[in-house]
């Protein structure tokens, strides 16, 4: 376990969040003023890299074992590898959807509500920030900070779900983009639906760790479930980092 100071860790999370927020805003404005797909892909890659490195802590995969095979830390290292392998596998679904979107729509996009898209993206990004705070708090044994952070993440996650499924979907249908209207509608509902399904499972995961955390089942040494939920939640954010420009920003309106 690296023993970084709690305050330093919180600050790092904040700085990364600011970077992500600025990049998202930049992305949005670039999409408005010019037609620069390569630049948008580049920004998305930077954002994903920041989340994967600083929020999902991919470098923890390199952690040395400091106990025998039966110890909690050894098993956590194994679990962490399993989790990342699962995400690798899962990313192939999203990759496949992205391929389908590029194949069917090319450099066009459906007519969607831009401000709503930006809002839900921001909501998911902020939820990632609080998730990071929650995990950092748990790592330093701050249970209250953990509970507050997780609750906020949970609420923002539900807001995201409501925003996409409850507002964006009916609006799209109202605009004539339905599941059966054509390839664009089909791809839009498939991509957002698959992502929303993952958000829903993430929300369930958060409810579980919130409940068990409130009952004091985790401590600063043993909190694998919290770490797993955190990695999963950030993964959902990474997926959206690519889906947001793919659905809202890239290409000309259909």
Partner 1 sequence: MNKLKPIWRALLLLLMGGFVGYALGVGLDALIGGTVDFVAPISGVFSLLGSATAFFFGLIGYRGITKGLVYQIIGTFVGAGFVTAIRAFMGLETFGSFFFTEPAWVFGGLVGTLSFLSGVGAFADWYKWAKGESTPEHHQDPEGFIKYFGVSLDHKIIGIQYTVTSLFLMGVGGTFAMIFRTELAASRLQFLTTTFKAFDQNGLQFYNTLMSLHGMVMIAGILLGVAGMINYLAPMLIGAKDMAFPRLNAFSFWIAVPGALLLLSALFLGGFDTGWTGYPPLSTRSPLGIQMFFLGVYMVGWSSILGGLNLIATVVRLRAKGMTPFRLPIFVWAAIATSIISLTATQLIGLSFQLVMFQRLFDMGFFDGTRGGNPVLYQHLFWFYSHPAVYVFVLPGLGIISELLPVFVRKPLYGYRWVAMSSLGIALIGFLVWAHHMFASGLNEYLRVPFMYSTLLVSIPTGVKFFSWVATLWKGKISTPTPMLFVLGGIIVFLIGGLTGPPSATVSTDLHLHDTYFIVGHFHGTIFGGYVFPFFAAIYFWFPKATGRRMSEKLGKLHFWIMTPSFLVMTFAMMRVGLLGMRRRIADYDAMLGFDLTHLITTIAGYLIFISVAIFLYNLFHSMNHGEKAEGNLWNSRSPEWLVPSPMPVHNYDQAIEVVGEPYDYGLAGSKYVDFTNNK
Residues that bind partner 1 (CB under 8 A): 69, 77-78, 81-82, 85-86, 88-90, 92-93, 96-97, 99-100, 103-104, 179-187, 189-190, 208, 211-212, 215, 217, 225
Tracing tokens 């990313």 back to the chain, one arrives at 91
| Residue 141 or 182 having the CB closest to partner 1 | 182
Tracing tokens 């054509």 back to the chain, one arrives at 182
User: Least distance (Å) from partner 1 to the CB of residue 124?
Assistant: 23
User: Can you give the length of the chain in residues?
Assistant: 254
| Residue 14 or 81 having the CB closest to partner 1 | 81
| Residue 42 or 72 having the CB closest to partner 1 | 72
User: Least distance (Å) from partner 1 to the CB of residue 88?
Assistant: 6
User: Least distance (Å) from partner 1 to the CB of residue 128?
Assistant: 23
Burial of 21 (0-12, 13-18, 19+ CB in 10 A): middle
User: Least distance (Å) from partner 1 to the CB of residue 65?
Assistant: 9
| Residue 27 or 168 having the CB closest to partner 1 | 168
Tell me how far apart the alpha carbons of residues 52 and 237 are, in angstroms, rounded to a whole number: 10
Q: Which residues contact 35 (CB under 8 A, 6 or more apart)?
A: none
Tell me how far apart the alpha carbons of residues 46 and 49 are, in angstroms, rounded to a whole number: 5
* 253 three-state secondary structure: strand
Angle at which helices 114-139 and 6-33 pack, to 10 degrees? Answer: 170
Long-range contacts of 81-86 (CB under 8 A, 24+ apart): 83/228, 83/231, 83/232, 84/58, 84/231
User: Least distance (Å) from partner 1 to the CB of residue 96?
Assistant: 4
E strand spans, the chain: 108-109, 252-253
User: Least distance (Å) from partner 1 to the CB of residue 193?
Assistant: 9
* 169 three-state secondary structure: helix
User: Least distance (Å) from partner 1 to the CB of residue 155?
Assistant: 21
| Residue 7 or 170 having the CB closest to partner 1 | 170
| Residue 151 or 212 having the CB closest to partner 1 | 212
| Residue 19 or 224 having the CB closest to partner 1 | 224
Q: Which residues contact 70 (CB under 8 A, 6 or more apart)?
A: none
């Amino acid at each position: 376990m690296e023993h970084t100071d709690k305050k330093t860790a919180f600050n790092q999370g904040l700085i990364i969040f600011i970077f992500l927020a600025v990049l998202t805003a930049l992305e949005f404005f670039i999409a408005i003023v010019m037609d620069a797909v390569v630049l948008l892909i580049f920004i998305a890659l930077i954002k994903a890299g920041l989340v994967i490195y600083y929020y999902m802590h991919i470098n923890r995969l390199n952690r040395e074992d400091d106990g025998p095979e039966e110890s909690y830390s050894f098993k956590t290292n194994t679990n962490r590898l399993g989790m990342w392998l699962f995400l690798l596998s899962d990313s192939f679904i999203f990759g496949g959807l992205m391929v389908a979107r590029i194949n069917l729509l090319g450099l066009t996009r459906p007519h969607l509500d831009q401000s709503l898209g930006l809002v839900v993206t921001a909501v998911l990004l902020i939820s990632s920030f609080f998730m990071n705070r929650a995990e950092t708090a748990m790592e330093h044994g701050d249970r209250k900070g953990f509970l507050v952070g997780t609750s906020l993440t949970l609420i923002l996650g539900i807001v995201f779900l409501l925003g996409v499924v409850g507002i964006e979907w009916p609006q799209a249908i109202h605009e004539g983009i339905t599941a059966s209207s054509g390839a664009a509608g089909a791809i839009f509902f498939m991509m957002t639906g698959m992502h929303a399904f993952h958000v829903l499972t993430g929300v369930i995961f958060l409810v579980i760790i919130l409940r068990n955390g409130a009952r004091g089942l985790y401590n600063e040494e043993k909190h694998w479930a919290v770490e797993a939920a955190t990695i999963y939640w950030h993964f959902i954010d990474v997926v959206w980092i690519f889906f947001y420009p793919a659905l809202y920003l890239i290409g000309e309106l259909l």
